[in-house]
Structure 1
């Protein structure tokens, strides 16, 4: 019996201990939760809880319950309700309830006046409520502050507009060009184009097979041969003479897009044939504009190609000059204009295309005399020298209808963005813009999409990818042993070899070291004269020098 009583007492106290332990844990949980930041809705719930707690503290007296007795059938219909409270029941219930109500009101007023603390809603306010109150309490804006705010907004808009590839006049006058104002090449697409444009699935399969990604509205289908592009025979013969029988993917899609008069952004890896993709349309632009209105002395150019460096500009000029010489040397009138009348063929035969290389390191007078004496159709230039000619009004862009920005990513990285923008300010009308690059950073994509008129983006392969024809190997060498390691690598590798250095001083140091070791090398960088740079490149091409050092 004693053991049973002890067990009964243990069972009686155990729930109390458990409840107490749970209550203690609950207090810890509430303290932990209070230290955490709360959201907007949690703050609103806390405000409601505090309001209820405040009301409970204000009204200490409990309201008496009123029990209503139902009528008994024996009493009839005229029975009365009998109020009853915990203190008792009787006829004085209404008077007692009135006294309690008055006491409750007096107690609430005394509690509110005695409690110095603010109410729950004022103690914890949400961020939204605080923001609204701060805006209401904010002082009105003065005229000076309003003027300063408007000036800052204008400056932000100017910075945003600087991203656009437009001239200052076009930005100031808010000039917008439509797609219908593009260059008319008078070039009719082949008949199979309509069928190819209608069958979108087949067209996408063809592009996927050629690793071409074309973005834009109404993109023309690619042409897999030069004959499908309807190129004249003299041009096809010239390409075959140079060993170019089949176009590359960037040429298959880029040349038809250019012939359709659309602005284009071409992205392809180095060595993919981008130069040919914009050189052929530039030649046809010059032919069409000269046929409509011949170029006289002091006029031109019709097509403009801008390159970031002198060597790249000279290389592009040599490619373009080859096409121009092939046209000027062609004596067969039918090859020049196969589908034209006899009069049109004679008129085409009278056209003599002229090109000019406009780069630094060459006498300005020699370049100016070419334009002043005969006029020019196509100019290949670097931004700095072209800007000098335009500022001195030795060259005008009134008749220019076609502009190419080659290696646009390098041009922006080298700091020529403002020069290009100043060059564009000399245009008098809309032009067809072709932007080519090996990579496509977001900065170029953003202002190209804003500045070009409904552009077509042609991407061949992966933007910024390395050429698969080049094997790349990386070797980690200490700074002190780089010279010796370069000499060892040159002894293992048969010439010709090209060595790239980070800056001009490194080029001169490595070049001098290898000359002392008996290596027949030459140097090319921006600190040398243009004549020395050209001789070094020509010597390397003619295989009289084994190793050029480039920066």
Structure 2
């Protein structure tokens, strides 16, 4: 199938040709005709499947056609809500690519930065608005945004939205939207709370499920090094001695861990930078740009900060910490091997994470290849239940002591 067969208009096809888009992905082929037919959509698709284009292209076409037929005051006609700044910016960039030969205006708003520039753009008029929930409700309350003209509403990455505690914001937002609208709901997973939320948003939706989260991308080669917690740093240095690994997205479980890993890498003269929730937005965007341009070799990220990062032809993902949630693993490695390109995912597994690897293998229904040529093999044993209990108690005691000392020093 080609994009021409999806009845897309010439301005969009011209933009797609410039981006070298030749054939639609599965979710694009299924969703675009239904959205153009003005149906509500309940979509389940893992990262890297082309979901953003699946809803952006038909939205641009519908609004472009309407704008040409009806001249009038500019008002927000489509609202796309997404959980993170990075994902919001990525969607806005894609709207710029796909809609460059239309006269539609779009804008992106998110928290963590001053609102002045965003408000000025809204005042100039916007057809499509991409937003994170907090900043959106804030600007609505200040009177800068009205949603009474919304015709198409998109809730993207709904599962991550709920994980990040945005459920009350979404409920408030739903009350402000026109009851007569087209709604598009996308989520990588469909647990009961997501299905319940979808039921409040959608009317007679078309259900589309592509590459469920249990399936890891076939284009990604998966490897695991079994090592000790104390050896992870040295093992990482050993892996990065391979100069072919020239661009790496590395995942850390915590913000503190991301900063520590970055310091360790820099001490070995490896260009590295960290992005996580404690980093300012302008820093995160600067680092992401440098990574895309090749100035930074290793981008160290936490899961929330990495959601929405889309790097063309990214080949390597390293799990410095194996995630407890196997679905998180699938999302992580899906950052490589996108759009048919090949990729490699490497996990560094300490004894306490052995069980997490087994859960991942169960979810994806395949064994992860174990690297035998490992100069830092796993020799420690996982803690017993009693040892783990004592370890956690001591960890909590140290944490409380740290905050108590900091409070006394103020």
TM over 0.5: yes
Alignment correspondent of 1:417: 167
**Does the aligned pair in 2 maintain the 1:302–1:402 contact within 8 Å?**
yes
C-alpha separation in 2, matches of 1:251 and 1:355: 21
1:467 CA drift (Å): 1.6
More strand by share: 2
Alignment correspondent of 1:318: 93
C-alpha separation in 1, matches of 2:116 and 2:265: 39
More moved, 483-492 vs 375-384: 483-492
**Does the aligned pair in 2 maintain the 1:521–1:545 contact within 8 Å?**
yes
Which among 283, 307, 317 is matched to residue 60 of structure 2? 283
Which among 516, 519, 535 is matched to residue 267 of structure 2? 516
Which among 471, 481, 493 is matched to residue 231 of structure 2? 481
C-alpha separation in 1, matches of 2:204 and 2:181: 13
**Does the aligned pair in 1 maintain the 2:36–2:62 contact within 8 Å?**
no
**Greater relative contact order (CA < 8 Å, ≥ 6 in sequence):** 2
Per-residue CA deviation, residues 96-145 of structure 1 (Å, 9 max, x unaligned), is: xxxxxxxxxxxxxxxxxxxxxxxxxxxxxxxxxxxxxxxxxxxxxxxxxx
Given the alignment of the two structures, is residue 380 of structure 1 paired with residue 130 of structure 2, yes or no?
A: yes
Alignment correspondent of 2:285: 534
1:432 CA drift (Å): 1.0
1:531 CA drift (Å): 1.0
Alignment correspondent of 1:11: none
1:295 CA drift (Å): 5.1
**Does the aligned pair in 1 maintain the 2:174–2:201 contact within 8 Å?**
no
Alignment correspondent of 1:302: 77
Per-residue CA deviation, residues 169-193 of structure 1 (Å, 9 max, x unaligned), is: xxxxxxxxxxxxxxxxxxxxxxxxx
1:262 CA drift (Å): 1.0
1:463 CA drift (Å): 4.1
C-alpha separation in 1, matches of 2:68 and 2:45: 33
SS at 1:325 equivalent: coil
CA 1:295–1:441: 2 relative to 1, 3 Å:
farther
C-alpha separation in 1, matches of 2:279 and 2:211: 36
SS at 2:119 equivalent: helix
Given the alignment of the two structures, is residue 399 of structure 1 paired with residue 162 of structure 2, yes or no?
A: no
1:228 CA drift (Å): 2.1
Given the alignment of the two structures, is residue 429 of structure 1 paired with residue 175 of structure 2, yes or no?
A: no
SS at 1:261 equivalent: coil
Aligned length in residues: 301
SS at 2:299 equivalent: strand
CA 1:234–1:287: 2 relative to 1, 3 Å:
closer
1:444 CA drift (Å): 1.1
Which among 252, 274, 280 is matched to residue 29 of structure 2? 252
Given the alignment of the two structures, is residue 363 of structure 1 paired with residue 114 of structure 2, yes or no?
A: yes
1:515 CA drift (Å): 0.6
Q: Structure 2 unaligned runs (5+)?
A: 303-410
4+ residue runs over 4 A deviation: none
Which among 447, 450, 468 is matched to residue 218 of structure 2? 468
Alignment correspondent of 1:227: 4
C-alpha separation in 2, matches of 1:311 and 1:461: 23
C-alpha separation in 1, matches of 2:154 and 2:236: 38
Given the alignment of the two structures, is residue 440 of structure 1 paired with residue 178 of structure 2, yes or no?
A: no
1:447 CA drift (Å): 3.0
CA 1:228–1:255: 2 relative to 1, 3 Å:
same
1:461 CA drift (Å): 3.1
Cα root mean square deviation, aligned: 1.6
1:409 CA drift (Å): 1.1
Which among 7, 18, 41 is matched to residue 264 of structure 1? 41
C-alpha separation in 2, matches of 1:474 and 1:440: 28
1:406 CA drift (Å): 1.3
CA 1:364–1:399: 2 relative to 1, 3 Å:
same
CA 1:491–1:321: 2 relative to 1, 3 Å:
same
CA 1:288–1:398: 2 relative to 1, 3 Å:
farther
**Does the aligned pair in 1 maintain the 2:8–2:61 contact within 8 Å?**
no
Larger Rg: 1
SS at 1:404 equivalent: strand
C-alpha separation in 2, matches of 1:431 and 1:464: 32
1:289 CA drift (Å): 4.0
1:425 CA drift (Å): 1.6
Given the alignment of the two structures, is residue 241 of structure 1 paired with residue 49 of structure 2, yes or no?
A: no
1:522 CA drift (Å): 1.3
1:475 CA drift (Å): 2.6
More helix by share: 1
C-alpha separation in 1, matches of 2:166 and 2:272: 31
**Does the aligned pair in 2 maintain the 1:295–1:375 contact within 8 Å?**
no
Matches within 5 A, 1:24-423: 224-294=1-71, 296=73, 300-327=75-102, 352-372=103-123, 374-423=124-173
1:410 CA drift (Å): 1.0
CA 1:300–1:503: 2 relative to 1, 3 Å:
farther
